[in-house]
Amino acid sequence: MARVNFKDTRKETRTLAGKPVPVVVTARFARRGRLAVFADGLKSLLSGMRLTFGYLARPSAIVTRQYPENRATLKLPERFRARLRLKFDEHGYQLCTACRLCERACPNASIRILTRPGTLSKNELDRYIWRLDSCVFCNACVQSCPFDALEMTGEFEHAVFDRRLLIFTLNRYAGPPAGVLLKEPDEAKRAAAMEPRDVYGGPVPLNGADLPSVKALAVRPQADPARQGAAPAPGVPA
């Protein structure tokens, strides 16, 4: 028997402010002779060792994950909140109507929505700018969107060498949402209403733009994370 028997807890009822509270009093030390204490101490060390070495012998009980070697198989839960993405329908039209509710819900102004007068509608999305560098992944933007136009994706590898690469334009085109576009039967007119937007660039400070003594970003057009959901573009300052 060890000096403390952990099963030696005592159940009782105490009163606190006139109310009975069921308590369990934790175990204390038993008074024992020196020799017994020494023997118990030695035994306790050995049983701890046995447990540790047991794991050495049965490594299957260990849950270490070999990141980044396991990248190919690593699957994050579908609700995982990492990178914000605008949703697009099967035609590639965005669902965002530029209503700005997400911008207002965001606690730290990580979202900036720029609008412009449109051809098919009065007001349309120009740029949806999301600052990953200040986002806290609180999910308020996704929750507040009445058009279900936003989603959080499990893409979590965000390390880049230039801060400016953390400020994204999320929309692929400046133009009206799917609802407005689909009302227009003429394909050509639809296409004319959509002006392509790149991931970086725009008037928000640092959004890929010039800084004193730092040239504007030149981003390789094909490696475009917001569009393919692939690894972040290794955008290189020109």
Partner 1 sequence: MTVTVKTLNDIIAPPGAAASALATEEYFINMGPQHPIAHGSLRLVVRLDGETVREVIPVPGYVHRGLEKMAEHLSWRQIIHLTDRMDYLSALMNNWAVARTIEQAAGLATNPRIETIRTLMAELQRLQSHVLWWGVLGMDLGAFTPFLYGFREREVIGEIFEETIGARLTMNYIQPGGLMDDIHPDFVRKTKQVLAYLKPKIDEYDTLLSGNVILQERLRNIGVLPAARAIALGCTGPVLRASGVPYDLRKCEPYGVYAQADFDVPVGAKGDCWDRYCVRIEEMRQSIRIVEQLIDGIPDGPHATVKFGARIKVPEGIHYGQIETARGILGVTIAADGKSDAPYRLRLRSPNFSNLWAVTELARGWRIADIIAIQSTLDLVVPDIDR
Name the residue nearer to partner 1 (CB basis): 69 or 187: 69
Cβ proximity to ligand SF4: between 124 and 224 the closer is 124
State whether residue 86 is helix, strand or coil. Answer: strand
Site for ligand SF4 contains 178 (CB under 6 A)? no
Burial class (CB within 10 angstroms; exposed 0-12, middle 13-18, buried 19+) of 219: buried
Residue 145 near ligand SF4 by CB under 6 A: yes
Site for ligand SF4 in 26-55 (CB under 6 A): none
Start-end of H helices in 88-186: 101-105, 140-144, 178-181
Q: Report the alpha-carbon distance of residue 210 to residue 10 in Å, rounded.
A: 70
Distance CA 105, CA 103 (A): 6
Going residue by residue from 75 to 94, which x/- string records binding to ligand SF4, judged by CB under 6 A?
---------x----------
Considering CB distances under 5 to 8 angstroms, the limit depending on partner class, which of partner 1, ligand SF4, none binds residue 113?
Answer: ligand SF4
Q: Taking CB under 8 A as the rule, does residue 100 contact partner 1?
A: no
Distances (CA, A) of 145 to 148, 154, 182: 6, 19, 21
Provide φ and ψ at 23, rounded to 5°.
-125, 160
Write the single-letter amino acid at 194: M
**Contact flag: residue 113 with ligand SF4 (CB under 6 A):** yes
Using an 8 Å Cβ cutoff, are 220 and 236 in contact?
yes
Select from 11-19, 120-128, 183-191, 217-225 the region that touches partner 1 (CB under 8 A): 11-19
Q: Is 166 in the site for ligand SF4 (CB under 6 A)?
A: no
* Site for partner 1 contains 30 (CB under 8 A): no
Q: What is the pattern of x (binds partner 1, CB under 8 A) and - over residues 119-158?
A: -----------------xxxxx--xx-x-----x------
Name the nearest CA neighbour of 96 among 85, 82, 109, 108: 85
Instruction: Kindly state the number of chain residues that form the binding site for ligand SF4, as judged by CB under 6 A.
Output: 28
- Neighbouring C-beta atoms of residue 233, cutoff 10 Å: 21
3-state helix, strand, coil in the chain (%, to 5): 25, 25, 55
| Interface contacts to ligand SF4, rule CB under 6 A | 84, 96-102, 105-108, 110-111, 113, 130, 135-141, 144-145, 147, 149-150
| Interface contacts to partner 1, rule CB under 8 A | 2-4, 6, 9, 11, 14, 16-17, 19, 21-29, 40-42, 44-45, 47-48, 51-52, 62-63, 76-77, 79-81, 101, 105, 107, 136-140, 143-144, 146, 152
